[in-house]
């Protein structure tokens, strides 16, 4: 059990985290939110890279703020941005990281490193310097280093950024296979990743947990109330001002707008199937009452 109780963190006048509380058990947990919501600050705090200004974090009852090695010894972490040693191949760098993680058996290291490189589709590039990798290749290397040592807790921050659809699915499959035994926190702004992978999730905004629930329950909270219409681009600002606006997307010279309403909001609107994206914007924009913001989820 990873227990987060009322943690706050500020950087000058910026309140990055405001009394965030979560209890997490083994399984995949999705954390959605826009850029600047506080997701990365929360991930860095959980990874013991920074201390909160207030609050408590415990792992199986042990305080990880005062005793960070309790977390570090069981943690795999993929930050949003990470550096690499110059002039080291992927295989050599993974071997170095594995030793730092306490993997002293050379044969076991080699077996796991080969399996991970194969899993992230980098085996044929394992002798190349990581510093020469493209952005997508470097991201895949980051996934491999995070999973070294079979960590009990895996924190991944925007893990599928820069991956093509095939690589993205391959990584998500790796997470899915590991998810039953580990606490895996998937922090992202890609709603489809959470919808496909996570039975439990939270939405963050302005440093706070806006809502926590299962994706299906969040979808149900706006079921039958989402309306869409294609409009001219010139009409968009009026729709935003006059209706409970959810989102918009450009399509073939026009704009598809989505709004939340118990009744048909006007001519041309059609009641359509709800997506997690609709529930995300509805809760993030305060258009629905959040059913669950408590620390635990059962």
Domain that holds residue 234: 224-273
Whether 120 contacts 163, CB under 8 Å: no
| Residue 19 sits in the same domain as residue 80 | yes
Reported as a pLDDT band with limits 50, 70 and 90, residue 295 is: very low
Helix (H, G, I), strand (E, B) or coil at 16: strand
| Residue 18 sits in the same domain as residue 154 | yes
| Residue 148 sits in the same domain as residue 234 | no
- Three-class SS of 146-211: HHCCCCCEEEEECCCCCCCHHHHHHHHHHHHHHCCCCEEEEEECCHHHHHHHCCEEEEEECCEEEE
DSSP H or E stretch at residue 141? helix 135-147
| Residue 28 sits in the same domain as residue 76 | yes
Question: What is the number of domains present in the chain?
Answer: 2
Q: Is the pLDDT of residue 209 over 90?
A: yes
| Residue 161 sits in the same domain as residue 249 | no
pTM above 0.75, yes or no: yes
| Residue 118 sits in the same domain as residue 10 | yes
Say which CATH number the domain at 145 has.
3.40.50.300
Q: Return the structure tokens found at 22.
A: 């979560």
The answer to the question of residue 204 being in a domain is: yes
The pLDDT value given to residue 290: 61
Reported as a pLDDT band with limits 50, 70 and 90, residue 262 is: very high
Per-residue pLDDT reduced to its tens digit, 46-101: 999 999 999 999 999 999 999 999 999 899 998 877 766 768 999 999 999 899 88
Reported as a pLDDT band with limits 50, 70 and 90, residue 236 is: very high
The answer to the question of residue 202 being in a domain is: yes
């Amino acid at each position: 059990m990873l227990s987060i109780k009322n943690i706050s963190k500020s950087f000058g006048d910026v309140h990055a985290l405001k009394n965030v509380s979560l209890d997490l058990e083994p399984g995949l947990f999705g954390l959605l939110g826009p850029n600047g919501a506080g997701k990365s600050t929360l991930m860095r705090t959980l990874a013991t890279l920074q201390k909160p200004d207030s609050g408590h974090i415990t792992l199986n009852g042990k305080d990880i703020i005062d005793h960070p090695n309790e977390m570090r010894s069981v943690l795999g972490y993929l930050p949003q941005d990470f550096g690499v040693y110059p002039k080291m191949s992927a295989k050599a760098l993974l071997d170095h990281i594995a030793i730092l993680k306490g993997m002293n058996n050379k044969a076991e290291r080699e077996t796991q490193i080969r399996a991970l490189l194969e899993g992230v589709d980098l085996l044929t590039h394992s002798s190349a310097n990581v510093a020469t990798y493209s952005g997508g290749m470097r991201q895949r290397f980051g996934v491999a280093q995070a999973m070294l040592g079979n960590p009990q807790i895996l924190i991944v921050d925007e893990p599928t950024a820069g991956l093509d659809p095939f690589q993205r699915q391959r990584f998500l499959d790796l997470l899915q296979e590991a998810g039953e035994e580990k606490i895996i926190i998937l922090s992202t702004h890609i709603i489809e990743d959470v919808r496909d992978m996570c039975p439990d999730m939270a939405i963050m905004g302005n440093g706070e947990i806006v809502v926590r629930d299962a994706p299906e329950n969040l979808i149900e909270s706006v079921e039958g109330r989402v309306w869409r219409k294609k409009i001219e681009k010139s009409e968009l600002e009026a729709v935003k001002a006059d209706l409970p606006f959810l989102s918009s997307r450009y399509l073939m010279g026009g704009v598809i707008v989505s709004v939340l309403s118990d009744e048909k909001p006007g001519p041309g609107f059609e009641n359509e199937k709800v997506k997690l994206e609709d529930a995300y914007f509805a809760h993030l924009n305060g258009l629905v009452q959040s059913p669950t913001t408590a620390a635990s989820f059962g």
